[in-house]
Structure 1
Amino acid sequence: MVEDGAEELEDLVHFSVSELPSRGYGVMEEIRRQGKLCDVTLKLHPKNCLGVRQFAETMMCAVLYDAANSFIHQHFVEVSMSEEFLALPLEDVLELVSRDELNVKSEEQVFEAALAWVRYDQEQRGPYLPELLSNIRLPLCRPQFLSDRVQQDDLVRCCHKCRDLVDEAKDYHLMPERRPHLPAFRTRPRCCTSIAGLIYAVGGLNSAGDSLNVVEVFDPIANHWERCRPMTTARSRVGVAVVNGLLYAIGGYDGQLRLSTVEAYNPETDTWTRVGSMNSKRSAMGTVVLDGQIYVCGGYDGNSSLSSVETYSPETDKWTVVTPMSSNRSAAGVTVFEGRIYVSGGHDGLQIFSSVEHYNHHTATWHPAAGMLNKRCRHGAASLGSKMFVCGGYDGSGFLSIAEMYSSVADQWCLIVPMHTRRSRVSLVASCGRLYAVGGYDGQSNLSSVEMYDPETDRWTFMAPMACHEGGVGVGCIPLLTI
Structure 2
Amino acid sequence: MEEEHLTKFDLGDLEQHLVETDDFTIFNQDDLPMGGFQVMEDIRRKGKLCDVTLKVEDQCFTAHRIVLAAVIPYFNAMFTHDMAESKQMEITMQGIEPSALESLINFAYSGKVKIDSSNVQSLLVGASFLQLAKVREACADFLKHRLYPNNVLGIRAFADTLACWSLVEACNRYLQKHFVDVSMSEEFLNLPLPEVRDIISRDELNVQSEENVFEAIMSWTKRDLDQRSDSLPELLTKVRMPLLTPQYLTDRVGTENLIRSSHECRDLLDEAKDYHLMPERRPLLQSFRTRPRCCNDIVGLIYAVGGLTKSGDSLSTVEVYDPIVGRWQMAESMSMLRSRVGVVVMKKKLYAIGGYDGIDRLATVEVFDPASKCWSKVCPMNCKRSAVGAAVLNDQLYVCGGYDGVASLNTVECYHSDTNKWMMVASMTKHRSAAGVVAFDGHVYAIGGHDGLSIFDSVERYDPTTGQWTPVTPMLSKRCRLGAATLNGKLYVCGGYDGSTFLRTVEVYDPITSKWSFIAAMNVTRSRVALVANMGRLYAIGGYDGVSNLSTVEVYNPELDQWEFITSMCAHEGGVGVGVIPLP
Structure 1 residues 405 and 71 mapped into 2: Cα distance closer, same or farther (>3 Å)?
A: closer
Alignment of 1:298-447 (within 5 A): 298-447=401-550
Moved more, 460-469 or 218-227: 218-227
Report the residue type matching 2:330 in the other structure.
R
- TM-superposed CA distance for 1:195, in Å, is 1.0
The answer for the alignment partner of 2:191 in structure 1 is: 91
- TM-superposed CA distance for 1:312, in Å, is 0.7
Report the residue type matching 1:459 in the other structure.
Q
Distance 1:384 1:155 in 2: 37
**Contact 1:399/1:443 (8 A) holds in 2:** yes
Distance 2:234 2:413 in 1: 40
**Contact 2:321/2:329 (8 A) holds in 1:** yes
Deviations 1:109-150 (CA, angstroms, capped at 9, x unpaired) = 7467425642686445314548857xx868x999xxxxxx9x
The answer for the alignment partner of 2:128 in structure 1 is: none
Distance 1:57 1:382 in 2: 29
What is the aligned counterpart of 2:329 among 221, 226, 234?
A: 226
- TM-superposed CA distance for 1:337, in Å, is 1.2
- TM-superposed CA distance for 1:213, in Å, is 0.2
For these two proteins, the number of residue pairs brought into alignment is 381
Structure 1 residues 57 and 404 mapped into 2: Cα distance closer, same or farther (>3 Å)?
A: closer
**Contact 1:299/1:331 (8 A) holds in 2:** yes
TM-score scaled by length of structure 1: 0.71
What is the aligned counterpart of 2:559 among 445, 452, 456?
A: 456
Deviations 1:364-400 (CA, angstroms, capped at 9, x unpaired) = 1111000000001000000101210000000000100
**Contact 1:86/1:117 (8 A) holds in 2:** no
- Higher RCO structure, 1 or 2 (CA under 8 Å, sep 6+): 1
Distance 2:152 2:342 in 1: 46
**% identity of equivalent residues:** 53
Deviations 1:186-231 (CA, angstroms, capped at 9, x unpaired) = xx99753431111000000001100000000011222110101100
Structure 1 residues 307 and 77 mapped into 2: Cα distance closer, same or farther (>3 Å)?
A: farther
Deviations 1:77-110 (CA, angstroms, capped at 9, x unpaired) = 6986xxx579963328876664455214898974
Report whether the alignment pairs 1:466 with 2:569.
Answer: yes
Structure 2 unaligned regions, length at least 5: 1-147, 155-171, 243-252, 254-258, 266-290
Structure 1 residues 336 and 53 mapped into 2: Cα distance closer, same or farther (>3 Å)?
A: closer
Deviations 1:263-304 (CA, angstroms, capped at 9, x unpaired) = 111112111111110010001111111111111000000000
**Contact 1:392/1:424 (8 A) holds in 2:** yes
Structure 1 residues 71 and 459 mapped into 2: Cα distance closer, same or farther (>3 Å)?
A: closer
Report the residue type matching 1:265 in the other structure.
F
Distance 2:153 2:434 in 1: 51
- TM-superposed CA distance for 1:339, in Å, is 1.1
**Contact 1:440/1:446 (8 A) holds in 2:** yes
RMSD (Å), alpha carbons: 3.6
Structure 1 residues 391 and 233 mapped into 2: Cα distance closer, same or farther (>3 Å)?
A: same
Q: In structure 2, the residue corresponding to 1:478 is in which secondary structure?
A: strand
Distance 2:419 2:181 in 1: 29
The answer for the alignment partner of 1:4 in structure 2 is: none
Moved more, 446-455 or 85-94: 85-94
The answer for the alignment partner of 1:16 in structure 2 is: none
Q: In structure 1, the residue corresponding to 2:217 is in which secondary structure?
A: helix
The answer for the alignment partner of 1:263 in structure 2 is: 366
Q: In structure 2, the residue corresponding to 1:91 is in which secondary structure?
A: coil
Structure index of larger Rg: 2
- TM-superposed CA distance for 1:427, in Å, is 0.4
Report the residue type matching 1:406 in the other structure.
Y
**Contact 2:435/2:446 (8 A) holds in 1:** yes
The answer for the alignment partner of 1:192 in structure 2 is: 295
Q: In structure 1, the residue corresponding to 2:191 is in which secondary structure?
A: helix
**Contact 1:97/1:110 (8 A) holds in 2:** no
Distance 1:479 1:192 in 2: 10
Structure 1 residues 296 and 251 mapped into 2: Cα distance closer, same or farther (>3 Å)?
A: same
Structure 1 residues 107 and 414 mapped into 2: Cα distance closer, same or farther (>3 Å)?
A: farther
Structure 1 unaligned regions, length at least 5: 1-51, 59-68, 143-148, 159-187
The answer for the alignment partner of 1:201 in structure 2 is: 304
